[in-house]
Amino acid sequence: MSDDVAAIARDLEAVIATANAALDRLRALPARAPDARSDVELDDWARPGRIVSEFEISRSHLHRLCTLHPISEPTGFALRVGARFLISRPRFERYARSNGLRRRETK
C-alpha cells in the first residue's frame, strides 16, 4: 500500500514539474498590447440606414454582420441598443476593406 502512495506522489510531482515548465514558457512569451479602442468616439457612430446606403448592402446582410461582429470583439463594430444597432464607422470601414465590401462612389 505504501508503494502505491509513493508512486502516486511521484506522479503528482512529475505533473507539477511539467505544469511549472509550461508556466515558465508562457511567462517567456511577449505580452500582447491591449486592444486600443481609440477609433471608437461618440461622433463615429452611424445608424444602419447610413451604412446600407454608403456600402450598398441589404439591411438583412448588415443585420447579420452586426450580429456576428459585436463591438466587444477585437474586429467588431456593432453595438446593440435595445433591438437596434449602432455601428462604429471606422471599425466598419476597416472590416469592409479587409472583406471586399466597397463604399459607393459619390460625386
Q: How confident is the model at residue 107 (pLDDT cuts 50, 70, 90)?
A: very low
pLDDT digits (tens, 9 = 90+) for 57-83: 899 999 999 999 999 988 899 999 888
Q: Which of 35, 36, 87 is nearest to 59 (CA)?
A: 87
Domain encompassing residue 93: 42-98
Q: Which of 16, 99, 88 is nearest to 51 (CA)?
A: 88
71 with 51, same domain? yes
In a domain, 73, yes or no: yes
In a domain, 50, yes or no: yes
Does position 5 have pLDDT exceeding 80, yes or no? yes
Q: What is the mean pLDDT of the chain?
A: 84
24 with 51, same domain? no
93 with 48, same domain? yes
Does position 4 have pLDDT exceeding 70, yes or no? yes
A 10 A CB-CB count for 93 gives 19
pLDDT digits (tens, 9 = 90+) for 15-64: 999 999 998 898 888 866 555 555 555 568 999 999 999 888 899 999 99
Q: Which of 83, 82, 57, 106 is nearest to 92 (CA)?
A: 57
